Amino acid sequence: MEYSEDDMLMLSGIQHFMFCPRQWALDHLEMQWKDNRLTIEGDILHENVDDPFYRMKNGGVATLRSVHIASKSLGLYGMTDAVELHPSPQGIKIQGCKEPVLLYPVEYKHGKSKPDERDEVQLAAQVMCFEEMYHTHIDQAALFYNETKRREVITIDEKLRNLTRRCAEQMHDLFDKGITPKAELKPHCKRCSLFDLCMPELSNRAKVKTYLKENLYEETS
């Protein structure tokens, strides 16, 4: 299946969707957003990285920033933080490069490595965009975490690709139906900038009220 241009969704949203589908829906369906310290610091980091006119060469490796990417098969579009061009006989021809290169996307993150795969899925989506646009195959890419100053090499295997495809499909399904998932209080909710807008604590109160009604209160006839 290929999505039309009118059906494309923002690639950056797939990370939010992995973190919490409701957070993604509040932002992309209901257009509600609120920054906190973490989101502001993340924006500052990307402002320092994003520069479409930036081109650096370190040895034989050139680095491009803020490259626009898209995938009709995923129905996603966006911009990558950086992509390194590694000279290789097995690479592809890129305009401005004298020799074939291998594409090596690098995504910059404010914090540190996460316990889940949200960062990996976002990176995999970028890789799949590059592959579709340049008719190539990319085995590895990298995540750079600003808090630890470490680059983590990520293997883009079939398991990660399938997870990315499923997330993209679910995003499109919710978007097409206009559905915002119900709130559910979880440990990571306190770190969310939309906590006050989402009000997940009310969902727990509703569950308690239902439990009391069903199990403790006697019905009166």
Residues in the chain: 221
Render each residue's pLDDT in the chain as its tens digit; 221 residues: 899 999 999 999 999 999 888 889 888 888 775 554 444 455 555 555 555 545 666 778 999 999 999 999 999 999 999 999 999 999 999 888 889 999 999 999 988 898 899 999 999 999 999 999 999 999 999 999 988 999 999 999 999 999 999 999 999 999 999 988 887 877 777 777 776 777 766 655 544 445 445 555 544 44
Regarding pTM above 0.85, the answer is no
Contact 74, 125 (CB under 8 A): yes
Domains and CATH numbers, the chain: 5-181 (3.90.320.10)
Locus of tokens 């100053």: 149
Cα distance between residue 14 and residue 85, in whole Å:
25
Locus of tokens 């979880």: 186
